[in-house]
Amino acid sequence: MLTASPRPSPVTPTIDLSAQGVQHGHLRLPYSRDDSAWGSVMIPICVIANGDGPTALLTGANHGDEYEGPAALFELARTLDPAEVSGRVIIVPALNYPAFRAGTRTSPIDKGNMNRSFPGRPDGNVTEKIADYVTRHLVPLADIVLDFHSGGKTLDFLPYAAAHELPDKAQEVRCFAAVAAFSAPYSMKMLEIDAVGMLDTTVEEMGKVFVTTELGGAGTASARSIGIARRGAGNLLKHAGILAGTPETAPTRWLDMPSADCFSFAQDDGLIAFERDLGESVRAGEVIARIYPIGKTGLAPAEYRAAMDGVLAARHVPGLIKAGDCLSVLAVLTEAP
Ligand SMILES: [Zn+2]
């Protein structure tokens, strides 16, 4: 998958990624446009380094409308004392910065979905150029990568950290150990609808430890979900040996997504009325939600039934839904992997 192009990245960091101490700067990507002929996209980046040790890469707003990552990472970048660090922490709080500025999942410049654009292209659109820089210049520096996600404006999740089943079982064990250290209320063995183009896949194929999250959603972040993100990032840095001390663990419930039966997609447009809330159990055949036609009264709703036993791990938001939208995700409670 990784076809490293010899073409150099057009992205220039305004800081020296190998320097010691704290540096706040930007990844500057030239972007010529109507309101700025020789303008640039300026993606905030912070590097906090002290001596020898591993490197962690922490990223948020890979999707621009997901806020736990930016909330935790802008705070961490502001407060992390290099004297506490052994090694290096690279923080990019808002990876798809144009999307983050616009409050949208994808970039307003090119409609690029960052987490479907990896490994990226140095000669692609703005989103692909950012992805390419991350792939070829940031991930290779890292021993461990944490990429924060939540549901954005159209999904809401149980708060979980996650890793994937991997062909390299030793690497998989390292990834799930990091998920356990993150210590979210839930920990997921995650199945992707389509793993092509994801940062996850790119990092995993490079043999690194990778942790992702889904910490809530609905286009906002709560005090609780931001707290989970902050504690998780600190725990991961302790787990990696970059911060001293042991992770501040809390009970976590392990979840698995055993097959594509987890996912339910709407086949109707209308008003969605859920019969279960996040975290509640449902048995196979029971109604998860009904979609009501909204053009007139007296019409029966379409019923969406669970294809398996499980707990509701994600649901569509807001209250209206369209055919094709992801309606729900079920997961099964399990033992630690
Ligand atoms: Zn996301």
Segment 201-253, tens digit of pLDDT: 999 999 999 999 999 999 999 999 999 999 999 999 999 999 999 999 899 99
Sign of the alpha-carbon torsion through 45, 46, 51, 52: negative
Distance 215 CA to ligand 1 centre (A): 10
Residues within 5 Å of ion ligand 1, judged at the Cβ atom: 63, 66, 149
- At position 125, the amino acid (one-letter code) is N
- Which pLDDT tens digit goes with each residue over 76-113? 999 999 999 999 999 999 999 999 999 999 999 999 99
Is the model's pLDDT at 194 over the cut of 90? Answer: no
Report how far ligand 1's centroid is from the alpha carbon of 213 (Å): 9
Report the pLDDT value the prediction gives residue 195, as an integer from 0 to 100: 84
Question: Would you state the pLDDT for residue 286?
Answer: 98
Peptide bond before 318: cis, by omega within 30 degrees of 0? yes
* Ligand 1 center from residue 255 Cα (angstroms): 19
111 CA → ligand 1 middle, Å? 15
21-30/55-59 β-pairing: unpaired
125 Cα to the center of ligand 1, angstroms: 20
Average pLDDT, integer, range 294-307: 98
Q: How confident is the model at residue 2 (pLDDT cuts 50, 70, 90)?
A: low
Domains (ranges, CATH) in the chain?
A: 12-256 (3.40.630.10), 260-331 (2.40.50.100)
Cα–Cα distance for residue pair 76/255, rounded to 1 Å: 28
Distance 329 CA to ligand 1 centre (A): 15
Compute the distance between CA of residue 129 and CA of residue 229 in angstroms, rounded to an integer: 27
CA 108 to centroid of ligand 1, rounded, Å: 16
Q: Which two tokens stand for residue 224?
A: 């609780």
pLDDT at 55: 98
- At 193 the pLDDT is 80
Q: What is the pLDDT of residues 37-61, one digit of tens each?
A: 999 999 999 999 999 999 999 999 9
Is there a contact between 127 and 117 (Cβ–Cβ < 8 Å)? yes
Question: Residue 4: which pLDDT band, with cuts at 50, 70 and 90?
Answer: low
Amino acid at 5: S
- Say if residue 117's pLDDT is above 80: yes
- Contact between 28 and 14 (Cβ < 8 Å): yes
Cα-to-chain-centroid distance, residue 334 = 22
The Cα 210–Cα 18 span in angstroms is 22
Distance 101 CA to ligand 1 centre (A): 15
Least confident of 94-103, 188-197, 315-324: 188-197
Q: What is the model's pLDDT at position 6?
A: 72
Question: How many angstroms separate the alpha carbon of residue 102 from the centre of ligand 1?
Answer: 15
Per-residue model confidence (pLDDT) at position 38: 97
How remote is the CA of residue 305 from the centroid of ligand 1, in Å? 26
Q: Distance, CA 295 to ligand 1 centroid (Å)?
A: 33
Report the distance separating Cα 148 and Cα 66, nearest Å. Answer: 8
What is the distance, to the nearest Å, from the Cα of residue 1 to the centroid of all Cα atoms in its chain? 21
- Looking at residue 118, what DSSP letter applies? T
> What pLDDT sits at residue 3?
57
Q: Which pLDDT tens digit goes with each residue over 139-184? A: 999 999 999 999 999 999 999 999 999 999 999 999 999 999 999 9
pLDDT of residue 192: 84
State residue 315's pLDDT score: 98
How far is the centre of ligand 1, averaged over its atoms, from the C-alpha of 226 (Å)? 15
- Separation of CA 62 and ligand 1 centre (Å): 6
Mean of per-residue pLDDT scores for the chain: 96
Give the Cα-Cα-Cα angle 112, 165, 254 (nearest 5 degrees).
100
